[in-house]
């Protein structure tokens, strides 16, 4: 594959990628297979191969050779063979320290062990790709409780009961750090979370407005392809996002500090208005026309100030307002998809519209949930929705897209799914109005053309996804819907 970027180094960013030529949106920048994959840290007992939760008390949930948790369907998988040999040779049993949440600290060693075994099998790739990776040893030591748990459950467990003294304690803790700082989460074909280490992809620096997006293909041994979201000029830096772009600044910073051990100082994070979106801002109680934003986004204790009047509010009061709202939202988001969840989401969306900026991240995430539920929840199927609700769903989609156009511009999955949710009500309203003779063929054709354009953009983006993923399935469904819409367009022309 053509080399698309050069590796540079910056005191603030560390290693980063720089485009070697002009790139078009959708160009593949990186195409690589993982160095190693395995269960996420802190997971309940799962099959070590497919990572589905299993009942370890069942005889069919144990590897016949080492007796560690492997479901019967995965007994012959090569994925488990490396650690299986280690556990057999050391006679290391599984099951010590299982807690009330069905988690076992012994599972923490699996993914680091796979990295170590892969290092021995492919030393050249380790030296070339993994050895230079950041692991923030000093910062991780500052989280003493986590450091000690990793030291006992991983490093000393592997060197002790597993008899792997050939790996030094320092090396094992370094591998743990490399995984914590650099690993990406993926989903198995069955939808279970795992983590994968992609050394080339991890070179790129983080930005809260990324210009690349990654797609992981479970059906291709978790191969990853990194594509440009937008056009990128020669010598521009290539950025990925290590956090959720639709979180507010405080939430993103906390995630990056706790999980990646750095403070993001990108343009968005340093701007109290988040690039003019007011994504974390509140409506001012004093003047009702201004928005309250933090004075210093990188300081959690900073006061907040209105952009129109002189109102200044301490951060403690802002937290006292936001924390209960976020707790309420978390309760609703934990509910299964149902008419009750839809109604409760709608209630929160309306309840806080006079407190939060219209594009606030809480409101945006509630709208995103509503766009998915209207049309899918039983009793709210798309064809049964009245025109007023269809129009409302269109408005919700457009507001979500307004935010995504700022933070995930171009060919992002989130934009594609929002566009997919938008096309349905656009096409349905146009069809209903035409059948009722409320619009003529010319207007119907124009409205249908808009729905086709929206759906085509969504499908174009989603076609890059793994065929087994929900987004890949959506692409197939979207293609069929496109054919039907185009047939409807031809029918108009024939008449």
Last residue of one domain, picked from the residues 193, 218, 253: 193
In a domain, 253, yes or no: no
Residues whose CB falls within 8 Å of the CB of residue 343, separated by 6 or more in sequence, listed in order? none
Q: Tally Cβ neighbours within 10 Å of residue 81.
A: 13
Which among 434, 455, 456, 437 is positioned nearest to 445, based on CA atoms?
A: 434
Quick check: helix, strand or coil at residue 201? helix
Contact between 447 and 165 under an 8 Å Cβ cutoff? The reply is: no
In a domain, 366, yes or no: yes
- Looking at the fold, whether 146 and 231 belong to one and the same domain comes out as no
- Looking at the fold, whether 455 and 365 belong to one and the same domain comes out as yes
Contact between 182 and 260 under an 8 Å Cβ cutoff? The reply is: no
- Looking at the fold, whether 129 and 216 belong to one and the same domain comes out as no
How confident is the prediction along the chain (495 residues), in pLDDT tens digits per residue? 678 999 998 877 788 999 999 999 999 999 999 999 999 999 899 999 999 999 998 989 999 999 999 999 999 999 999 999 999 999 999 988 888 888 999 999 999 999 999 999 999 999 999 999 999 999 999 999 999 999 999 999 999 999 999 999 999 999 999 999 999 999 998 889 999 999 999 999 999 999 999 999 998 999 999 999 999 999 999 999 999 999 999 999 999 999 899 999 999 999 999 999 999 999 999 987 899 999 999 999 999 999 999 899 999 999 999 999 999 999 999 999 999 999 999 999 999 999 999 999 999 999 999 999 999 999 999 999 999 999 999 999 999 999 999 999 999 999 999 999 999 999 999 999 999 999 999 999 999 999 999 999 999 999 999 988 889 999 999 999 999 999 999 988 887
CATH number of the domain residue 466 falls in: 1.25.40
What is the pLDDT at residue 13? 76
Last residue of one domain, picked from the residues 180, 208, 241: 241
Range of the domain at 454: 327-494
- Looking at the fold, whether 235 and 381 belong to one and the same domain comes out as no
Which among 407, 329, 339 is positioned nearest to 376, based on CA atoms?
A: 339
Strands 291-294, 282-283: pairing kind: antiparallel
Which among 454, 465, 457 is positioned nearest to 429, based on CA atoms?
A: 454
Contact between 174 and 197 under an 8 Å Cβ cutoff? The reply is: no
CA–CA gap between residue 61 and residue 68 (Å, rounded)? 8
Q: pTM for this structure?
A: 0.91
List, in sequence order, the alpha helices (H) in 19-122: 81-90, 110-121
- Looking at the fold, whether 67 and 27 belong to one and the same domain comes out as no
Determine the distance from the C-alpha atom of residue 493 to the mean position of all C-alpha atoms in its chain, rounded to a whole number. 43
Strands, sheet with 36-38, edge to edge from the N-terminal-most edge strand: 36-38, 193-197, 184-187
- Looking at the fold, whether 352 and 447 belong to one and the same domain comes out as yes
CATH number of the domain residue 16 falls in: 2.170.270.10
Given the structure tokens 């020669």, which residue do they identify?
234
- Looking at the fold, whether 235 and 338 belong to one and the same domain comes out as no
In a domain, 293, yes or no: no
- Looking at the fold, whether 333 and 480 belong to one and the same domain comes out as yes
List, in sequence order, the alpha helices (H) in 376-469: 387-407, 413-435, 441-462
Given the structure tokens 């978390």, which residue do they identify?
330
- Looking at the fold, whether 385 and 444 belong to one and the same domain comes out as yes
Q: What is the helix (H) or strand (E) element at residue 213, kind and residue range?
A: strand 212-217
- Looking at the fold, whether 95 and 128 belong to one and the same domain comes out as yes
Last residue of one domain, picked from the residues 193, 212, 232: 193
What is the pLDDT at residue 10? 83
CA–CA gap between residue 469 and residue 194 (Å, rounded)? 14
Residues whose CB falls within 8 Å of the CB of residue 52, separated by 6 or more in sequence, listed in order? 46, 71, 188, 190, 192
- Looking at the fold, whether 101 and 19 belong to one and the same domain comes out as no
In a domain, 250, yes or no: no
- Looking at the fold, whether 233 and 159 belong to one and the same domain comes out as no
Please, what's the largest Cα pairwise distance for the chain? 80
Helix-then-strand count for the chain, H and E = 16, 14
Q: For the chain, what is the domain count?
A: 3
Given the structure tokens 């989460």, which residue do they identify?
185
């Amino acid at each position: 594959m053509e080399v698309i970027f050069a590796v540079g180094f910056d005191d603030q960013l560390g290693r980063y990628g720089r485009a070697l030529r002009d790139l078009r949106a959708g160009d593949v920048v990186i195409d690589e297979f993982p160095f190693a994959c395995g269960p996420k840290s802190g997971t309940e007992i799962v099959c070590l191969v497919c990572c589905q939760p299993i009942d370890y008390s069942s005889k069919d949930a144990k590897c016949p050779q080492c007796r560690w948790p492997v479901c019967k369907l995965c007994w012959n998988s090569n994925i488990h063979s490396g650690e299986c040999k280690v556990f057999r040779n050391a006679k290391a049993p599984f099951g010590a320290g299982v807690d009330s949440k069905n988690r076992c600290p012994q599972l923490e060693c699996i993914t680091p062990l796979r990295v170590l075994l892969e290092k021995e099998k492919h030393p050249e790739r380790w030296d070339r790709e993994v050895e230079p990776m950041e692991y923030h040893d000093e910062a991780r030591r500052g989280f003493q409780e986590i450091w000690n748990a990793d030291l006992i459950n991983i490093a000393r467990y592997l060197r002790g009961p597993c008899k792997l003294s050939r790996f030094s304690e320092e090396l094992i803790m370094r591998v743990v750090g490399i995984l914590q700082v650099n690993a990406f989460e993926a989903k198995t074909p069955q939808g279970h979370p795992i983590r994968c280490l992609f050394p080339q992809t991890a070179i790129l620096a983080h930005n809260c407005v990324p210009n690349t997006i990654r797609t992981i293909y479970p059906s291709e041994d978790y191969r990853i392809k990194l594509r440009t979201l937008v056009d990128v000029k020669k010598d521009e830096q290539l950025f990925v996002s290590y956090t959720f772009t639709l979180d507010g600044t405080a939430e993103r910073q906390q995630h990056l500090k706790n999980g990646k051990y750095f403070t993001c100082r990108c343009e968005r994070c340093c701007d109290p208005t988040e690039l003019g979106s007011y994504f974390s801002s509140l409506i001012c109680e004093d003047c009702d026309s201004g928005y309250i934003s933090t004075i210093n986004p990188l300081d959690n204790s900073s006061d907040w100030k209105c952009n129109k009047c002189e109102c200044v509010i301490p951060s403690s009061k802002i937290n006292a307002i936001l924390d209960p709202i976020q707790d309420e939202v978390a309760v609703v988001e934990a509910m299964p998809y149902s008419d009750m969840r839809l109604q409760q989401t709608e209630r929160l969306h309306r309840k806080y519209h006079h407190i939060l900026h219209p594009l606030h991240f809480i409101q945006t995430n509630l709208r995103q949930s509503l766009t998915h539920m209207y049309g899918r929840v039983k009793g709210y199927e798309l064809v049964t929705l009245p025109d007023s609700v269809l129009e409302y769903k269109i408005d919700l989609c457009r507001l979500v897209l307004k935010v995504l156009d700022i933070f995930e511009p171009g060919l992002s999955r989130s934009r594609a799914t929002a566009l997919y949710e938008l096309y349905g009500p656009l096409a349905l309203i146009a069809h209903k109005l035409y059948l009722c003779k409320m619009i003529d063929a010319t207007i119907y054709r124009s409205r249908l053309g808009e729905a086709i354009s929206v759906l085509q953009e969504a499908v174009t983006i989603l076609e890059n996804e793994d065929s087994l993923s929900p987004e890949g399935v959506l692409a197939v469904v979207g293609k069929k819907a496109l054919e039907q819409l185009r047939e409807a367009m031809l029918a108009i022309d024939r008449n």
